[in-house]
């Protein structure tokens, strides 16, 4: 993404007059894009803090509409920091939360009541009488009265000065699901299936997710004087595009925000990635500055658009599709050849470098012939799911391959699976420990956390499965490392923040192996953020290792596959697989039996991991082929990360 439109650090996101929001003819909502959610959240927190202080100075109350979910967490964290370190007081704040599940007890960990206290209210000086959250315990006729009363209280407080929003993949704001009317007020709503799927991991299964909720209405939200919607990560990219660029429709309730005169979307690059001005900037700006990356992206897109391969593109194709700027200093013929070669040079069957070969145009160095390689795998299975073909080749081509499983992955093993193993253990040795585990699994209730010994068993199940896969690829057990990074070991979906202890474990392993190549997951769309945290741990470790002489000779390659795939133009190394190699990869994934046949955390993709991987790898090969490359059965793609 070109950096000119991506904001870093402190930016003023104050109101611009209606009709002057649009950056392009496609966009209908003012939006600002940050490199990451931390920068965006800090700016939003500052806007809220400024508003509170401005009102304080005038002796007035400040009425905030607040959201829950993963999106606002960093904003709340920053507000708490400002309260602790900068004396920001919330004494004049009156808050109204958007929604609450129905039915829902206040002390249930999944309640929005619990969430708001855990993330904000318990840490600031807001008057508890000024906190309003829809009550998930009301029943029958009392619900209607409760909703009317909620609306009344907002009005009595003087109306919402500021409304913070997240957005669901259905396009809901609050819990205003598709179908919601723009005149709707606080009411009971039936949750959309997608919303329940998204909430399922937190509730340990979709069956436990409530079917209804109380939500402020669209009209309630729209009555706020100022609205800021937060959108983070590639999972939100599609709905953000529909909301900002689509027509207003009750099928995407967030599109109603197009009619609000003081609304800003604060996004990160992932969430903004489908917007026209980012995905295909040449369609909105003919005077673009073209660099090589953007040219590659545009040409891949142009081929898809015209159904042609690179070498068949004509001047007319470029001119008709906003890309005439590319032809001011070169002929389309030369440009086509250049781009064809660029793509061709990414393909190699020698991911560790080809011995005795000229490596000028190869993605990896020929020397040293035998490389020390670490494959970092966030969970015990990402290695084979995302780069099983490459892993297999690296071993067969004689490199010293190490696999490091960053987390234990214990939370993704079902109780049924764990019970099976505990009972087998007991049948071999009827020990007290085995019996304790069996009893505790049998007595477990839906929201209970596993005790330590059950978590350990679940982790061991995944270890056993990992060994089955790495042995299948011919790897020595001594080269398999289980890091069990502490940030993951909460026993819950919600993980701890990354700490020095996590980074140190990574540093120690890298120091002990002194690798020439590191592979890591750059797969940031996983639903629980574990891949992102594991990548952050690697980046922090690389930072710490700067200056170690062997790191000058270390190349880092990022893979994807379990949750999404690199775009073709991004790929810097493409490793093809034959049909037999595809099969070997599949069998290695099969070794992870606890993750087969409907895993606990499926996300919204109902395919098993081996199917997702295989279809993505075949698709990459198909895309290369459509661009004019040779026809391969499947391909794994990698992007190089430059850390020096």
Residues that bind ligand F6R (CB under 6 A): 67-71, 98-99, 166-168, 172-175
CA dihedral defined by 15, 57, 94, 111, rounded to 10 degrees?
70
* Buried b or exposed e, range 421-459, using 16+ CB within 10 angstroms: bbeebbeeeeeeebeebbebbeebeeeeebeeebbebbb
Shortest Cβ 257–ligand F6R spacing (Å)? 12
Q: Which is nearer to ligand F6R, 76 or 473 (CB)?
A: 76
Q: Which is nearer to ligand F6R, 171 or 459 (CB)?
A: 171
Shortest Cβ 145–ligand F6R spacing (Å)? 22
Shortest Cβ 422–ligand F6R spacing (Å)? 34
* Residue 311 near residue 340 (C-beta atoms within 8 A): yes
Q: Which is nearer to ligand F6R, 76 or 555 (CB)?
A: 76
Shortest Cβ 40–ligand F6R spacing (Å)? 13
Beta strands 263-268 and 227-231 are: parallel
Q: Write the CB contacts of 500 (distance below 8 Å, at least 6 apart in sequence).
A: none
**Closest-CB residue for ligand F6R?**
166
Q: Which is nearer to ligand F6R, 180 or 595 (CB)?
A: 180
Shortest Cβ 192–ligand F6R spacing (Å)? 10
SS3 90: coil
Q: Which is nearer to ligand F6R, 165 or 300 (CB)?
A: 165
Shortest Cβ 561–ligand F6R spacing (Å)? 23
Shortest Cβ 166–ligand F6R spacing (Å)? 2
Q: Which is nearer to ligand F6R, 167 or 343 (CB)?
A: 167
Q: Write the CB contacts of 442 (distance below 8 Å, at least 6 apart in sequence).
A: 419
Tokens 């697989």 found at: 577
CA distance 243 to 22: 13
**Phi and psi for 232 in degrees, rounded to 5?**
-125, 135
Q: Vertex 295, ends 622 and 25: CA angle to 5°?
A: 100
* Residue 631 near residue 625 (C-beta atoms within 8 A): yes
* Residue 272 near residue 278 (C-beta atoms within 8 A): yes
Token pair of 141 as six digits? 């006729």
Token pair of 382 as six digits? 């990402």
Helix residue ranges, H only, 187-230: 193-199, 218-222
Shortest Cβ 115–ligand F6R spacing (Å)? 8
SS3 578: coil
**DSSP letter assigned to residue 56:** H
SS3 215: strand
Does the annotation count 177 as an active-site position? yes
If one counts every other C-beta atom within 10 angstroms of the C-beta of residue 494, the result is 13
Shortest Cβ 107–ligand F6R spacing (Å)? 18
Q: Which is nearer to ligand F6R, 218 or 339 (CB)?
A: 218
3-state secondary structure 410-466: HHHCCHHHHHHHHHHHHHHCCCHHHHHHHHHHHHCCCCCCCCHHHHHHHHHHHHHHH
**Phi and psi for 611 in degrees, rounded to 5?**
-70, -45
Token pair of 620 as six digits? 């990459």
**Phi and psi for 6 in degrees, rounded to 5?**
-100, 125
- List the beta bridge partners of residue 405: 377, 482
Shortest Cβ 564–ligand F6R spacing (Å)? 17
Q: Which is nearer to ligand F6R, 48 or 173 (CB)?
A: 173
* Residue 535 near residue 524 (C-beta atoms within 8 A): yes
Q: Which is nearer to ligand F6R, 294 or 493 (CB)?
A: 493
Helix and strand numbers, DSSP H then E, in the chain:
20, 18
CA distance 167 to 173: 5
Q: Which is nearer to ligand F6R, 533 or 594 (CB)?
A: 533
Q: Which is nearer to ligand F6R, 218 or 613 (CB)?
A: 218
CA distance 327 to 135: 62
Shortest Cβ 99–ligand F6R spacing (Å)? 5
Q: Write the CB contacts of 178 (distance below 8 Å, at least 6 apart in sequence).
A: 170, 171, 172, 192, 250, 251, 252, 253
H/E element holding 32?
A: strand 30-34
H/E element holding 386?
A: helix 382-396
CA distance 341 to 311: 10
Shortest Cβ 174–ligand F6R spacing (Å)? 4
CA distance 184 to 406: 47
CA distance 639 to 473: 23
Indicate which residue of 177, 274, 364, 465 is catalytic.
Answer: 177
Q: Which is nearer to ligand F6R, 173 or 483 (CB)?
A: 173
CA distance 220 to 214: 13
- Show which residues are catalytic: 177
């Amino acid at each position: 993404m070109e950096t000119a439109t991506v904001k870093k650090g402190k930016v003023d996101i104050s109101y611009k007059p209606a009709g002057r929001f649009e950056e392009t003819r496609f966009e209908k909502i003012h939006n600002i894009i940050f490199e990451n959610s931390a920068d965006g959240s800090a700016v939003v927190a500052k806007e809220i803090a400024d508003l509170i202080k401005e009102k304080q100075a005038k002796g007035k109350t400040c009425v905030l509409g607040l959201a829950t979910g993963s999106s606002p967490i960093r904003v709340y964290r920053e507000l708490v920091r400002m309260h602790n370190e900068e004396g920001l007081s919330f004494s004049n704040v009156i808050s109204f939360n958007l929604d609450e599940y129905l039915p829902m007890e206040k002390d249930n960990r999944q309640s929005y009541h619990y969430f708001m206290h855990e993330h904000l209210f318990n840490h600031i000086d807001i008057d508890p009488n000024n906190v309003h959250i829809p009550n998930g315990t009301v029943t029958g006729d009392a619900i209607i009265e409760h909703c009317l009363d909620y609306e009344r209280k907002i009005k009595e407080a003087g109306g919402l000065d500021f409304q913070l929003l997240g957005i669901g993949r259905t396009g809901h704001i609050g819990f205003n699901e598709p179908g919601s009317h723009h005149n709707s007020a606080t009411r009971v709503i039936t949750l959309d299936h997608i919303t329940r799927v998204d909430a399922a991991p937190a509730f340990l299964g979709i069956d436990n997710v409530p079917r209804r909720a109380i939500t402020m209405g669209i009209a309630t939200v729209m009555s706020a004087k100022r609205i800021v919607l937060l959108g983070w990560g590639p999972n939100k990219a599609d709905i953000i595009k529909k909301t900002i660029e689509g027509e207003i429709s009750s099928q995407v309730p967030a599109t109603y925000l197009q009619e609000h005169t003081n609304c800003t979307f604060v996004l990160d690059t992932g969430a903004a990635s489908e917007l026209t001005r980012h995905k295909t900037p040449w369609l909105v700006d003919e005077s673009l500055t073209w660099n090589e990356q953007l040219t590659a992206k545009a040409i891949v897109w142009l081929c898809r658009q015209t159904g042609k391969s690179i070498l068949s593109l004509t001047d007319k194709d470029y001119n008709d599709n906003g890309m005439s700027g590319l032809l001011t200093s070169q002929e389309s013929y030369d440009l086509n050849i250049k781009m064809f070669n660029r793509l061709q040079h990414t393909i190699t069957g020698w991911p560790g470098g080809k011995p005795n070969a000229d490596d000028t145009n190869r993605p990896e160095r020929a020397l040293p012939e035998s490389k020390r390689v670490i494959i970092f795998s966030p969970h015990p299975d990402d290695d084979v799911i995302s780069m099983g073909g490459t892993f297999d080749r690296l071993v067969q081509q004689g490199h010293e391959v190490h696999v490091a499983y960053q987390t234990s992955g214990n939370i993704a093993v079902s109780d049924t699976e764990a019970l099976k193993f505990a009972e087998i253990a007991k049948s071999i040795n009827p020990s007290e420990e085995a019996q304790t585990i069996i009893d505790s699994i049998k007595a477990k209730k839906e929201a209970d956390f596993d005790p330590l010994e059950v978590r350990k068993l679940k982790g061991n199940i995944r270890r056993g499965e990992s060994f089955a896969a790495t042995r299948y690829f011919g790897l020595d057990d001594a080269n398999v490392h289980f890091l069990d990074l502490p940030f993951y070991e909460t026993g819950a979906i919600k993980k701890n923040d990354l700490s020095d202890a996590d980074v140190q474990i990574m540093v120690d392993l890298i120091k002990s192996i002194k690798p020439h190549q590191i592979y890591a997951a750059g797969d940031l769309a996983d639903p629980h953020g574990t891949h992102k945290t594991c990548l952050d741990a690697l980046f922090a470790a690389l930072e710490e290792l700067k200056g170690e002489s062997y790191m000058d000779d270390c190349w880092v390659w990022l893979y994807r596959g379990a949750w999404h795939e690199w775009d073709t133009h991004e790929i810097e190394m493409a490793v093809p697989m034959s049909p037999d190699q595809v099969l070997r990869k599949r069998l290695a994934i099969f070794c992870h039996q606890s993750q087969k046949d409907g895993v606990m955390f499926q996300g919204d993709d109902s395919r098993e991991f081996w199917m997702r991987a295989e279809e993505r790898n075949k698709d990459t090969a198909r895309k290369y082929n459509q661009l004019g490359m040779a026809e391969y059965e499947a391909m794994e793609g990698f992007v190089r990360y430059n850390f020096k």
